[in-house]
Amino acid sequence: MYLTIADDGVTLHDPERVNDFYASYRQRLTPARLHEVMVEHAGGELLPDGNHVMVPVETLRRLAAGQVDEGWDHKFAGMLSYAQDKGWMSEDGTAVRAHLEREM
């Protein structure tokens, strides 16, 4: 699954594919604007390294609603458990880290 970040908001794509998670944005977005859009749309935040974002778990659930089958929650929980084991979750477990890729 991946999150796209654009001037008009954040969108979740391929939510059924829980074995791969990343975020992408259009080249024209500056880091400041990227962070602003994410905050405005409850999409999370840009991390200081500029290469990752932290995305709230509840945002992913909200964006996946209506796109996934009833077994998705179980698969998603497995993804979050794997992310926790790798150190890719926030300390309180409410957000997951995603690598940020720039679209050309």
pLDDT tens digits, 29-71: 888 999 899 999 999 999 999 999 999 999 999 999 999 998 9
pLDDT attached to residue 71: 92
Question: What span, in angstroms and rounded, lies between the C-alpha atoms of 36 and 5?
Answer: 11
Percentage of the chain modeled with pLDDT above 90: 84
Residue written as token pair 């001037």: 7
* pLDDT band, residue 89 (cuts 50/70/90): very high
pLDDT attached to residue 27: 74
Mean of pLDDT values over 66-87: 95
The beta strands (E) that lie in the chain are given as 2-6, 9-13, 22-26, 45-46, 52-56, 95-103
- What's the pTM? 0.91
